Amino acid sequence: MSSETRRALGPLATLVEDPRVQDVFVLGGGQVYVDSGRGTFVAEGLRLSKEQALDIGRGLIESGGRHVDEAHPLVDVALTGGIRVHVTLSPIALSGTEISIRISRHRSPELTRLNLARANQVIPALISAVENRQTILISGATGSGKTTLLGALMAYATPAERLVILEEVHEITVNHPHVVSLECRQPNIEGAGEVTLSRLVRESLRMRPSRLVIGEIRGAEIADVLQAFHTGHPGGGATVHASSLEGVPARLEGLGTMAQMTPRVLAAQVIDAVHVVIHLKSTPEGTREIRMGTPTLSAGGELGIVETLHPD
């Protein structure tokens, strides 16, 4: 963490520097919560005044080169050290300044350390998918470990391959000798200089990737991602938000609508581009439960998932 970021964090710096902490949240009323992977809990002995929260929120956004005020009350920035900050100001935030801080430790994850349920069954299936150059889509809720799992899986690509990683904000780390990481850029205060994920996908195809790795599909870039995956770049991966394996088709259709893709066109492209869908769910016990399936097309042309690996 840089000294500038530490100063901007103020009394939150100690929490962010704790290697166990994944998220820090400041509520509008000044309460501070932390998440170390087992749910959110109150940070004992720490409470901010509304003035402190506002100052910290503004300072963090400014240290990331952006500005938050009444005209721009919702702002997201990436800071050095793998820290991502989102700030919402009043009156959008009814109770006062809301701050969400996510910390990516940028350690190369290993499958054996991800606390996967039924690891002896799950891990060989996951490794086999990567070694057979199957394109993987990982779904799950926020904080379920999608990005971590994707990074761990891509480590099984052969050393001779070139991995190009595209993300809105850098989070994926891969234990691999040949990795190119590209990050989107938000527009400046004048609205200029934006580099979108769609553009990164298109540009990356000129970089001769062996595998494309997409941090998360959130919108219209799904059209570019699917096009890239099924035009000679198999074996990569991406993540998407979904509450269940069965919910993935509806989620993809919603994203496809943003790209002006009809459900039938989207379904056909997903069938061509994606070989394995992995759904990840965190359990109250701290383990990660894996379900796996393959995309399928119904007689009516609707996208579905046929489950191939599921909880006993």
* The pLDDT value given to residue 110: 84
- CATH entry, 111-309, from 3.30.70.360, 3.30.1360.120, 3.40.50.300, 3.90.920.20: 3.40.50.300
Structure tokens belonging to residue 167: 């993300």
**pLDDT, tens digit, for every residue of 213-260?**
999 999 999 999 999 998 878 899 999 999 999 999 999 999 999 999
Across 141-203, where does the E strand assignment appear? 163-167, 179-183
pLDDT at 184: 87
pLDDT grade, residue 106 (50/70/90)?
Answer: low
Percentage of residues in the chain having pLDDT higher than 70: 97
Residue 84 CB contacts under 8 Å (≥ 6 apart), including other chains:
76, 77, 78, 101, 102, 103, 104, 169, 171
pTM higher than the cut 0.85: no
pLDDT in tens, 70-83: 888 998 888 877 78
| 140 pLDDT more than 90 | yes
Q: Is the pLDDT of residue 118 over 70?
A: yes
| Side chain identity, residue 274 | V
**Res 131: pLDDT:** 95
Q: Record the tokens describing residue 270, joined without a space.
A: 């997903």
pLDDT at residue 203 tops 90:
yes
Domain ranges across the chain: 3-103, 111-309
| Average pLDDT score over residue span 203-219 | 93
pLDDT, position 15: 94
Query: What pLDDT, in 10s, does the model give residues 46-99?
Result: 999 999 999 999 999 999 888 898 888 998 888 877 788 999 999 999 999 999
Closest to 153 in 3D by CA, of 177, 173, 181: 173
Give the pLDDT band of residue 292 (cuts 50, 70, 90): very high
CA distance 270 to 273: 5
What is the signed CA dihedral for 99, 221, 217, 276, rounded to 10 degrees? 180
User: CB of 271 within 8 A of CB of 281?
Assistant: no
Asked if the model's pLDDT at residue 274 lies above 70, the reply is yes
Average pLDDT over residues 182-190: 79
257 burial type by CB count under 10 A (0-12 exposed, 13-18 middle, 19+ buried): middle
Q: Which stretches within the chain are classed as H helix?
A: 3-9, 13-17, 50-63, 119-131, 146-154, 197-204, 222-229, 248-258, 263-273
* Amino acid occupying residue 244: S
Q: In the CATH scheme, what architecture does the domain 3-103 have?
A: 2-Layer Sandwich (3.30)
